[in-house]
Each structure stands twice: as C-alpha cells, then as structure tokens.
Structure 1
Amino acid sequence: MKVVAFKRELQGSGASRRLRNSGQTPGIIYGGTEAPVTIALDHNALYHALKKEAFHSSILDLEIDGKAEKVLLRDFQMHAFKQLVLHADFQRVDANKKVHMKVALHFVNADVSPAVKLHGATISHVANELEIECLPADLPEFVTVDLTNVDVGHSVHVADLTLPKGVTAVTHGNNLTIATASVPAGHVAAEAAAAEEAKK
C-alpha cells in the first residue's frame, strides 16, 4: 500500500494545529540508520486508510518528496470524540531484520464445526489479534483460525494455529487461548428436559 507524505519543517503544537486546520495530519518516521523525519499527511486519505485492516499489518510504501521508504504503521492518535487523526508514527523497515507486529485473526468454518453443527454451541473469540515475528517479506495481513474440528468443551490455543511460512507467534511462554466452544446454559437445560421426557 502506498502513502504520500511531505516533509514538515515547523514543529510545536501551534504548527501542528495549523497543519490540522489545513486538512493535514502531522506524523513522524523513525528507526533504521537515518534520523527521524517529521512529516505531514493528507488527513482524509490517512483516515480512510486506517479503516482498512491491511493498513495496520502491511509494509507500506511511504513516499516523501518523490523518495519511497518501506515503513510500518506503529501508532496513531485519534481525537477523543471527533473523527480526527491527530498524529501518526511510522517505523522504517529493514528487509533483513525481523519485525514484531500484532495481526488480526480471521475465524473460519465455525458453522461446520461439531460444536455448532451437532451441539448448537457458541464459539467465543477470546483473542482477535496475535503477536507475531517475521521478516518483512513474510508479514501476513492476517492469520486464519480454522474452527472445523472444534467440539464442545474444547479450546483453540496458539499452538494449534497453522502459521504462514516464516512466521512465529510471540507468546512469552504462554500457550494462549484463541477461541472456546460452549453450549449456552438454556440450551443445556432444554436438552436435559427433553432427555427426561424421553425416559417416561
């Protein structure tokens, strides 16, 4: 994905306010061997890009004054109640150094799992994103969680995930739970009552 930015010479809250009033968002690029560079971005383009999941977990081509750099979005600040992006931080990417990122989890095949199909269970998503480490070229937009074989009382953990090639999960020694399958309490009671009725 491509992002166009401009070098920003003036610093300070007054300069940032004037920039925002003119429809731009202040930002910064840091990391790598070069010095940090303060930038300005078109607010509307940035605001709409932030709504796309891929923008948060992809290597971006950031163009400043005709020169492109590979970067990752590292942070952004939103206004408390206005639809306004106050600031954006980008980090330079070295193709040979692993990056540490959080990527979204996409859950698939819940409807065909034994838990849902046979037992009317609900599958709860305990986590919606996963911390990963990989080289920039291997960075996935998201990680798929296949729920095909999940049954009632079972959970899906990080160790159960099939990660893309070159990608490792950062779990800090914990095999974190990603999803669980459980039958709603009312459903259990109804099934028990039906079983009792059948015995009579």
Structure 2
Amino acid sequence: MTIEVIATSRQAQGTGASRRLRNSGRTPGIVYGGGDAVQIELDHNDLYYALRNEAFHASVLSLSVDGKKESVLLRDFQMHPFRQQVLHIDFQRVDAGKKMHVKVPLHFINADVAPGVKLGGGIISHVLNELDVACLPANLPEFVEVDLSKLEIGKSVHVSDLKLPKGVEAAGHHHASDAVATIQVPRGAVEAAAATAAE
C-alpha cells in the first residue's frame, strides 16, 4: 500500500514566513535530491497523524506537489520542544534504480514462547530497535521480524540470524555478529539463587 502525501510549493521563505505558515495550520518542508530542492508546505494535522504511523517512517512515499507526484523518503522532521507541533519536515527523492540506505523498525515476535523466558524466567533485552538496510526502493520492507522462539538464557539473536527479504541487506555500522536481542536472568533472581546455594 502506497502512502500518499499532499503538498503545495511555497514561495515565501524565512523565519517570519514560516511562523505565519505554522499559525495558519500549515507546516513548511523541503524536497531535495535528484534535482532542484523545492520548498513545500503541508497540512499540519494530516502530517502530525501520518508521523504517528510507523510505516510512514520506513516506506517509499508518494508525494504530490501541486499535483505532480514523485517518490520520496522521509529523511528528517523537527518537533516543537513541548507542543504537539511539527515545525519542519524534509523529504528526499528516490531513484527506482538506485540502492538506498534506510533505517527500518524491528518487530520482535514469539517472545512469550522463548525457552529462556518460559523455562528460565529470563527477561528479553532489545539491543537494537531498528536496522540500517540497503536496497532498491521497490524492495524496502516496512519492518523486519525478529523471531525469538528459540532463544535461551544467556543467548542472543544476531544480525546474521535475521531473515531479511530478498534484495535487502544489513548496512551502515552493523556487523553480522552484532546482537539484536538477548535473554538474561533478572539480577534479583541470580542473587536469590546465590543466597539459597550459600545456605
């Protein structure tokens, strides 16, 4: 499912113009990459609710600027320090034939049936919550699943254990041996066991 974003180009720039825009319920933004940068404005409420959708952050979006559509990625956005207000947003154009680097959220599944939790009373620790991947825009997954069903006490799931979709590879600073999630016995349980053994 393609997520559509509606925007219009804006001419007025500068702090004063941006403030007036925000006061009228609009959010300033920019589209860059693969051509000239274009200053845009978007409906604030639509944008605010879109940003609460996880898929909006890790999908190729269809951005319509004055009716002209192009494929983009969300690259950055600034929030007001204490108000629920989006101050500015950045989109980057994507080229269908070029690999891109994107952070994709990790979805952890089967934690409740992991032997380390069910039999060992362990607690799962998420070392990573997102993964840097490289792929063509058409292959970009909304998320990557991390299956914890075989994880035992003291063991970890590593980047090399993840089943990445076809055409998607781990990128950035990740190494195959990096831990994604681990199961540890809670410290209190270790101390209680040690005290029992001592008695």
TM-score by length of 1: 0.93
Greater Rg over alpha carbons, structure: 1
Offset from partner CA, 1:30-81 (integer Å, 9 cap, x none): 001x211000000000000001100000010111111111100000001111
Code of the residue aligned with 1:123 in structure 2: it is I
Cα distance in 1 for partners of 2:20, 2:74 equals 23
Residue 53 of structure 1: aligned partner = 54
Code of the residue aligned with 1:28 in structure 2: it is I
- Establish whether residue 180 from structure 1 lines up as the match of residue 186 from structure 2: no
Residue 39 of structure 1: aligned partner = 40
The aligned runs of 1:99-110 (5 Å cut-off) are 99-110=100-111
Paired residue secondary structure (1:123): strand
Stretches of structure 1 lacking an aligned partner (at least 5 in a row): none
Cα distance in 2 for partners of 1:188, 1:166 equals 43
Cα distance in 2 for partners of 1:106, 1:196 equals 41
Q: Is the CA contact (8 Å cut-off) linking 2:105 and 2:130 kept in structure 1?
A: yes
Cα distance, 1:77–1:173 mapped onto 2, change above 3 Å: closer
Cα distance in 1 for partners of 2:11, 2:172 equals 41
- Establish whether residue 122 from structure 1 lines up as the match of residue 123 from structure 2: yes
Q: What's the C-alpha RMSD, in Å, of the aligned pairs?
A: 1.5
Cα distance in 1 for partners of 2:36, 2:76 equals 18
Residue 26 of structure 1: aligned partner = 28
Q: Is the CA contact (8 Å cut-off) linking 2:133 and 2:170 kept in structure 1?
A: yes
Paired residue secondary structure (2:132): strand
Cα distance in 1 for partners of 2:124, 2:148 equals 9
Paired residue secondary structure (1:162): coil
Aligned residues: 196
- Residue 27 of structure 1 and its aligned partner are, at CA, apart by 0.3
The aligned runs of 1:32-181 (5 Å cut-off) are 32=34, 34-172=35-173, 174=175, 175-181=177-183
The aligned runs of 1:2-17 (5 Å cut-off) are 2-17=4-19
- Residue 171 of structure 1 and its aligned partner are, at CA, apart by 4.6
Q: Percent identity?
A: 64
Cα distance in 1 for partners of 2:187, 2:93 equals 50
Paired residue secondary structure (1:41): strand
TM-score by length of 2: 0.94
Cα distance, 1:117–1:195 mapped onto 2, change above 3 Å: farther
Q: Which segment is superposed worse, 167-176 or 53-62?
A: 167-176
Cα distance in 1 for partners of 2:9, 2:172 equals 38
Cα distance in 2 for partners of 1:55, 1:180 equals 28
Cα distance in 1 for partners of 2:181, 2:140 equals 23
